[in-house]
A and B are shown apart, each in its own frame.
Chain A
Amino acid sequence: MRSGGQPIPRVEERRSFLKKGLLGGLILAIGGVGFLASRRSRLAPLPPQGLRVLDPSEYAVVMAIAARMVPGGEGFPSVQEVGVGLNADGILVRTDPAAAKEVKQLLKLFENALAGFIFSARIRPFTQLPPEEQDQVLEEWQSSRLEIRRTGFTALRTLVLASYFGSPLSWPAVHYPGPPPGFHQPDAPVWRGGGEKRPDGNGVFHPEASND
């Protein structure tokens, strides 16, 4: 899936994926945004809790990428069972707004095959591809000689994996027993000073005590 002929502008090392002048020019070159918008995402059922950052198309792309990254089976729950898309939405709520916006743009870019169209023959959105072709797209982005694609792959992969493996639902599959019980004290006092006596504990220095 390599381009024929088109000289690819040298991309600066930046996180911003919709750099003015690069993609603006490319969109014009293929007849405007209308062409791309006409290709619809294959949507995924939305979580009942609703979404706060991702729109339904972006959500579908997250779930589609996640399903290829962690295909499930062999003890691994599906991305639906883990709620990867909802978890990703939750992460983006807490992310710096400029970074979250870039992730949304990147998801649209990945889905709309803009890069794919310009640099290869693929014209279907990612979510409409069969799994084997989705894997090919991901592999191409992972090893691409275009830095911007490797950067995009890394960003999406991190979001998807944090959304999957941050969930305790994933732990049995990796034989992780969870944190040791009995140490976290959810009612531990939060000391703020202001004349209140500091609670004793391991952080208080007792000069006469010997080292462990």
Chain B
Amino acid sequence: MTEGRIYTGEEVRGGQQLQCDVCVVGSGAGGSVLAHELVSRGLQVVMLEEGGYHTRREFDLQESKAFPNLYQELGNRTTDDLSITILQGRSIGGGTTVNWCSSFRTPKRILDHWRDVHRVDGLSEDVLRPHWEAIEKRLHIAEWPEERMNRNNRVLWDGCGKLGYSRGLIPRNVNNCADLGYCGVGCPIDAKQSMLATMIPDAVEKGLTVYANASARRLRIEGRKVAAVEVDVLDAESRRSSGRTLTVRPKVAAVCGGALNSPALLLRSGLTAHGRVGKRTFLHPVVITVADFDEPVEAFSGAPQSVHSHHFIERGPEKMGFFIEVPPIHPMLGAITLSGFGIHYQRFLSRLPYVNACIALIVDGLLPGEEGGTVGLRAQGDGRLKIRYPLTEPHWEAFRTACKEMARIQFAAGAKTVVTLHSPPLLMRSVDEISKLDSAPWEKLRVRVVTAHQMGGCSMGKDPSTSVVDNRLRYHELDNLFVVDGSVFPTSLGVNPQESIFGIARWAAQHVAAAV
């Protein structure tokens, strides 16, 4: 088997035409696992990635370099109204290059919900388990030991312990981790078992050809087939179009751009699945509380996420559940995420080594009638996406409750003050002041909402009138098009998504291969 190769934009001549068995669009969690499975079966695979090829050679642990290079829109992707900040990866490895290493299997109750409500057949724990096990072995996924927990995580651990809230240790995909805390800006030692460090080079050794700086603009459809993938070659530095193009003619195309980008590609190709493409986009919307302690916390140091609480994951049939973790806090993202401005804000920032933050991730998509957000296209010439995510009463109720519970946890762990990310921020000096949250301004752009997990937009299911891809992830109306990434999830997951995406991609590989 001839070895594959990773090409970057400047190496690609204009007008190149490629043929292959499968074209995989996107090098993130879904695309990489899929591509690896396909080349392992002896298929000829071309992978396209619109982001750049950035490796540990460049990972100098600086936010100012990482955000432009490794994130969508320099880390500033947002919903149209700027009410939700979207952290999404964009480079070889996709989200796995910049995530915080948390790895969870898809919860059974979510798989059951998809089966019962969304007519997803054939996807159970029994079916996925061998895939999870294989991934967990390859990526060294294991619980981060309690004794290595950093102080930022310990606040959540201790606070939950004192209140009797359930808590657990997070499994992480790391190998020889040096406990630095810079997963979000690219691991400098490849300890993070991102697709960049693991599955992509594994696949390249088996023949995968990868083009970085290659933005798939459109799928050319002829009859019931994708005939070609039309690609804009980008300039690596400016990220703008170089003017050169590439055309890939695969037997089968697999769209793996992730939620947001996969629906966008389908829409640019005229594929709307009767209006279903780009609908039911879910975000695990996040609210945050920040606590100030007398002793140093140093949330910029140490494995970023090692504790989770799923105590509030199910709160009854009309309420959205949430789970709680902690984020790392580095100066730039921390300053932007914190609310306010001026001398008080500046003084609060000088407390950086003494602050902890907790994040509550709201589980969206499970309530009856919940529609989630939408992804659409903008006018010709404007490459940005139209991303809308309505925040509704159940969201606000969940945000308010989550902030109260996080504050309770932080005070239980010894916090002196807790501040919210309302604009301007709301300060609490004790547990007794938590009720002040009831009169805080719970409306968009008055409180910081963030997402680091994007799901849905190309839902899977048996019924073409309510789904975009079938139960083998094949686009309903075409013979040779698959979507294999987090955009196929009919709801959000209630856990960090990467392992669910790895699992479903590994499982789906058999169906993609069979279509060749």
Chain A residues in contact with chain B, CB under 8 A? 13-15, 68-72, 74-76, 91, 93-99, 135, 138-139, 142-143, 147, 150-151, 154-155, 157-158, 161-162, 164-168, 170-171, 173-176, 179-180, 183-195, 198, 201-205, 211-212
Contacts and interface: CB of A to CB of B under 8 A. Distances in A.
Contact of B5 (A93, A157, A189, A192): A192
B331 A99 contact: no
Contacts of B240: 97
B331 A170 contact: yes
Nearest to A160: B341
B445 A165 contact: no
Contact of B238 (A94, A142, A143): A94
A184 B64 contact: no
A188 B81 contact: no
A68 B194 CA distance: 40
Given A99-B384, A138-B341, A175-B350, A193 B74 contact: no
A96 B382 CA distance: 9
B12 interface: no
A191 B346 contact: no
Interface stretch (B201-209, B243-251, B256-264, B319-327): B201-209
A202 B56 CA distance: 11
Nearest to A99: B384
Contacts of A99: 73, 384
A212 B140 contact: yes
B388 interface: yes
Given A97-B240, A151-B82, A179-B60, A203 B198 contact: yes
A184 B61 contact: yes
Interface of B: 3-7, 53, 55-57, 59-64, 67-68, 73-74, 76, 80-82, 138, 140, 142, 174-178, 180, 182, 188-191, 193-194, 196-198, 201-202, 204-205, 238-240, 300-301, 330-332, 334-336, 341-343, 345-347, 349-350, 352-353, 381-384, 388, 423-424, 441, 444-446
Contact of A203 (B201, B350, B381): B201
Given A176-B331, A198-B201, A151 B81 contact: yes
A154 B81 CA distance: 10
28 contacts: A14-B80, A71-B343, A97-B240, A135-B342, A143-B423, A150-B445, A151-B445, A158-B336, A161-B335, A162-B67, A173-B349, A174-B335, A175-B352, A179-B180, A180-B180, A183-B178, A184-B59, A185-B56, A188-B55, A190-B57, A191-B201, A193-B5, A198-B201, A202-B189, A202-B197, A205-B138, A212-B140, A212-B176
A212 B341 contact: no
Nearest to A159: B76
Given A184-B60, A202-B191, A162 B336 contact: yes
